[in-house]
Structure 1
């Protein structure tokens, strides 16, 4: 079933050009690129990014690739690692790709850009973005989709993200079909990351995006130098990627190349308005609708129960808010924050908000109702009881930022402006946004890395 999958993917990536890409997909690529850069500029002040920069500096690493939102620089591979960690650090990067495609594709591309050996046009850059998103999501689909792969315990941003970054870099470097096949084969050995962080809010979730960006870039550079990768990496053989990582479960490898070049995987990607796991967003929107419709104040809410299946409960059902990463994976916290603070944006996840007495009191009254009939976080409901005895059941629905419920360009700019302001002067952030939104008109994108340096 999977014979020739790597070769077919490699041919697609190597031959893809901007004229092949539908206009709507090209526009979406610009929006997701801008969104990712905003998330990464804010993430530059995260503890994860700071500690990684400190580690690399202590180890004597140096280079000229900018670390976004700072005045520091490193070699390209290390810059991809740091900027990928920063992009994912605050849970504000996009989702619905590999899962977090932006945080692996953009750091890898901008790090490898000076190594292209030529002027790279905006159209070429966008083509590489689309290639990365497409391959990363397609590899995940080879397992049967997000739930099928992640429920085994793998974190798809780390495992499938390595292929997204590899494909994007191969496209930008203009690797031949044979070199691109080597690149994707090498990425099989660089795919990693599990959900073990979920049990104590460890920082390693952010590491997965950085390592995938670094790994994909490494695979592309090795392939360019003639380093060979296994051509049967996706085959049903001992040591094959799908055969090994599926844990004995059925795979859907035929989906990897299904409608290749006709069905663009970027269409699945969503932009996140809230600083938390995407599977909390539908509940945040639902409680917001109820509060606004019924005119409820924070003090009116007595109890909230959220219906979740076992998989979702394991992912976002916890109430540990001792660290920011833990709180960002908590649906009860997201709901409580929306009630108490009127928002689940980044400011609501700071230590002061997490420890606020009113938040802690309400958090104890937000619980999970296990329900295996729930098929998705946006196909569930919240059951809310008020202090005066009223009871409401508010259904969840497609959350804001999804492809069929998109944020507007104005909302995207508002999000970007707020995040970029954490590390860049307003004038520089404006130039960066205008550059990204007009990317297809640029004959050379070499100035982009400088616009990201503080």
Structure 2
């Protein structure tokens, strides 16, 4: 980390800003554009799915500023920050949103709401939205790689704190801030960032607002910088900078990951889309459980289940084991491998319908979850790769097992467009929209990057 006596001539954020401010839509690779389009569709469907849920209503009704911007599925128009907050909360609230495999961080639930809001508010084009999404998503992915696992270890949620920086970059690029303004926006966003992971203790709701709060915080940072407000240019590597504040000091940060190969190596093209409505690292274990069930495993004969896991996942998905085996809330169940394995075996699914108050009280689910334990595997590749290994021991001593070598939906086994569209349609239906309205939103998303402005988003209020 740089100390105050040896400040760099050109800081990390200045180097990123110099690249990002010159980014044009025509220079964005097809793979990055496709990933951004998938993220837009995924987030839009998630916003529609959550439009009637209690925590989204609480967030919407807490915001007292109205304006010209759209919270998808809600009749009341809000100011830009409010729309970003509500849409970000809705997109992330069920933990069904996209993720990054290098270190888990949810990019779409931050970037799409932030960029939608700034573009709708200031009459920016779809090409501007694409530029903002590409730049902000790339920054979030790169920041996740600087000190893998260190942000979680320090007690912070990477999506929350890194998201504020990504939203500032994305909104600033969409607004065409100059290099100095964009550098200031990142510096300001460092003081907007927040979000601790104590929600894990009892499954309370605070994680649900993290993406939305980051989206509105980054948007505000960009607008402050646009008006000449100054931020520290050494926000990343400084003696009191982002990684000093938000990352465990036992993991040495590699700041070169933020700028090496900008414009040549695109991490934004590798964002993963979830097949299940729960925590990222639970997904491969659910695949294992579903596979065992489809292969005819007799649930009644299971004596115990053991899962091989990466050490870095234990404090979020396995401990305290009593809470993970009997989650106190439906939300807590999303971050419990024992619960997720149990519903995977029983239901062969882990969608929105599996994480309900009824399911966390179901004796069959609880009895099976109580049989699930873990063993730390020193060879597990987390956080570079998310894999699963489930081994069931039967009452006669026989063992059966399944392995998932990577996250389905990620770079090694991406979901097809038909699967993403099916997920989108199911989410819209869950939110109470008919096929015609879902189709209209899908068409809007498909044409977004070629649109002269985003005023069409207003058709999806209410």
Q: TM-score category by the smaller chain? A: over 0.9
What TM-score comes out, normalization by structure 1 length? 0.93
Residue 428 of structure 1 and its aligned partner are, at CA, apart by: 1.9
Matches of residues 34-73 of structure 1 in structure 2 within 5 Å? 34-56=41-63, 60-73=64-77
Q: Paired residue for 2:408, among 367, 387, 400? A: 400
Q: Distance in 2 between matches of 1:236 and 1:168?
A: 22
RMSD between superposed Cα atoms in Å: 1.9
Check if 1:307 corresponds to 2:315. no
Residue 225 of structure 1 and its aligned partner are, at CA, apart by: 1.3
Q: Paired residue for 1:284, among 269, 283, 286? A: 286
Check if 1:12 corresponds to 2:19. yes
What secondary structure sits across from 1:64 in the alignment? strand
What secondary structure sits across from 1:369 in the alignment? strand
Q: Determine if contact 2:326/2:370 at 8 Å carries over to the other structure.
A: no
Q: Determine if contact 2:343/2:350 at 8 Å carries over to the other structure.
A: yes
Matches of residues 269-418 of structure 1 in structure 2 within 5 Å? 269-292=271-294, 294-317=295-318, 318-376=324-382, 378-418=386-426
Q: Distance in 2 between matches of 1:140 and 1:361?
A: 37
> Aligned residue for 1:124?
128
What TM-score comes out, normalization by structure 2 length? 0.91
Task: After superposing the two structures, state which structure 1 stretch, 335-344 or 424-433, moved more.
Answer: 424-433
> Aligned residue for 2:151?
149
Equivalences, count: 444
> Aligned residue for 1:267?
269
Q: Determine if contact 1:63/1:74 at 8 Å carries over to the other structure.
A: yes
Q: Determine if contact 1:139/1:163 at 8 Å carries over to the other structure.
A: no
Q: Distance in 2 between matches of 1:346 and 1:165?
A: 27
Residue 49 of structure 1 and its aligned partner are, at CA, apart by: 1.2
User: Any gaps of 5 or more consecutive residues in structure 1?
Assistant: none
Q: Distance in 1 between matches of 2:346 and 2:288?
A: 15
Residue 372 of structure 1 and its aligned partner are, at CA, apart by: 3.5
What secondary structure sits across from 1:32 in the alignment? helix
Task: After superposing the two structures, state which structure 1 stretch, 423-432 or 323-332, moved more.
Answer: 423-432
Q: Distance in 2 between matches of 1:70 and 1:163?
A: 27
Any idea what the Cα deviations from partners look like across 1:356-375, whole Å, max 9, x if unmatched? Answer: 22112211112222334433
Matches of residues 175-214 of structure 1 in structure 2 within 5 Å? 175-214=177-216
